Structures are given as structure tokens and as C-alpha cells.
Structure 1
């Protein structure tokens, strides 16, 4: 997938019997996803214009261009949707798109390599970086806070982290 696109949502399946989909938006303002279109599949082979029809439990109901039946909508379950980066709003200096953090090398404040960011999770209390390193059996999970991650340099491809001390 091209680096000039960012994942902004996913299709959770059909909603009703008339071709609507249940849409999970990964945007700060969930409804803003419709304004970033057309949205693309990860492989870039299909694109969709989106019209939000209403809010539903755990997401939004939406109409996608080219999706007319429940079967069409069901076939898209699990498909992630990507927006052209140029259509997304700019971010302040201390905010980042998750896509920009994945793959960055992570070093401690002394310069020792800790690993590479493989994923970012958020279970409601803030973002958590999942960091993997060769030879380490388990991932290092690090809160993505100013105290734990004082420096992010996307252009240089590196993060400086100050992990909290482990309890003995």
C-alpha cells in the first residue's frame, strides 16, 4: 500500500438488507471519515465514496458507492479503508498518525536500541506502543505519553523512550 494513504476506518459488515454497511471510524471525529473520500482498500484496487446515514451501536451506518445489496456489503466485512494523506487535516507538532509511528526504531535515553514499533493500541486510557526486538520473547508495551516517550522524530525514523522502571 502506498505510504501516502492512512487507514481511517474499517467495514464491520452489512447493516440491514439494502446495502448499507456498519462502519468503524478511526477518526477523532467519527463522522469526519466521509469527508476524506474517496476511501481506498489496502491494495488500492477499489475506492468508495461514503455517505453516513446514521450513528449505530459501535459505529456508523453508511452507504458506499458501488455497494447496492446486503451481499455486496457482507463481502466487504473486515476491509480496511484508507484516505489519501493529502485529504487529512494537519496535526500539531505533538500529535502523530499511528501509521507514521509503526516501523520506527525505539531507543532508550542512553541510546540503547529497544526495538521497533509494531503496533499502537488504545483500550480507552491512551495509546500504548507495542515494541518488538529480536531475541525478546515478549513485546515491550510502553504508554505513549510525554514522560515515557519524550522524543518522536518521524523524519529520522526514531523514537527516544524513557520506560518506567519495572517493579521488582
Structure 2
């Protein structure tokens, strides 16, 4: 199967003619419609997307094959995926979140801290959630050069410099 990346989700129906409320996971929300066909998570359905207007909590969109409100409601909660090669390449110091999740995180001395379990962005920058052996709770670490000086995707690891009071 071709590797795919989740770029959006259907938040529900909008209107009576099959329009959906689309939540975009792309850095520029309207880009979700520019990547070509989007796929269901299982890869069984594909959709062309035409954005219609901004709506509360996302974007109004028309999806190919979705003609009625009932069709749109049936897709609520569905995620939308794009073939990875359709995404733009990134500069050396930028990463797709999906590439960071699961990477092992080590401190500067080579001691394993844990693995990246999730990435959050609440508006002030990305936060890595790191969980690993011996931890009672997840370590939340700002994804900045000060705290994460090295990301080596080829080696599958991150070197981090967490504040001492957060280490367990």
C-alpha cells in the first residue's frame, strides 16, 4: 500500500445538499483541497475536494460522490488521507508530525528518555509528548532547537535536552 498521510477529517454535514464541514490538518487549511484525491483511511474510497466557504470550526466543502445531507452525515468522523508523494518537500529544519511520532528520544548523554507518542500545537508552537520506560507520566517538551537540538529521521532518533526538573 502507498504510504498516506492524514490531512483532514469530516466534522459533520453542513447544509442540505451534501456539503461537509471539513477540519484541515494542513498548516494552511485551504491546502487540503490542493493535493489531489483524498482517500478514506481504509483506502477504499477517494474524494475530490472543492472548498466552498469558511464555516465555524473548519471549512465547507463538497466531496465527489457526496450528494445528500445523509451521505455527508454518514462520513462524520472519517479521516481523509493523501498519498505522501503529493505533499510538498520541506526545508531541512521542518518535519511532518507523522515522521516524528514513534521516534526514540535520547538525552545528550545517550540515555533513552522514551518515544514520541504525540505532537500538540495549541498555538504557541509544537509540543512533543514523550513516554517511555520508568516514566510515571508523559514528558511534554517544547519542540524548539533549545530543547530538541537534533532530529535524525534516517537514524530514527531525536536528541533532546529537557530541563532537569522534568527528568525522571
Instruction: Mark the runs of 5 or more structure 2 residues left unpaired by the alignment.
Output: none
1:135 shift after superposition: 3.3
Q: TM-score, normalised by structure 2?
A: 0.94
Matches of 2:42 and 2:35, distance apart in 1: 18
Offset, 1:155 = 1.1
Residue of structure 1 equivalent to 2:110: 111
Count of residues in Structure 1 that have an aligned counterpart in Structure 2: 166
Tell me what 2:127 maps to: 128
Pairwise mapping of residues 13-162 of structure 1 onto structure 2 (< 5 A)? Answer: 13-162=12-161
Report deviation, 1:3: 6.6
CA contact 2:8–2:23 (8 Å) conserved in 1:
yes
RMSD over aligned Cα atoms: 1.3
When the two structures are superposed, what TM-score results if normalisation uses the length of structure 1?
0.94
Superposition deviation, residue 57 in structure 1: 1.7
Once residues 19 and 137 of structure 1 are traced to their aligned partners in structure 2, the CA distance between those partners, rounded to angstroms, is: 46
Q: Extract unaligned runs of 5+ from structure 1.
A: none
Q: Find out whether 1:164 has 2:163 as its counterpart.
A: yes
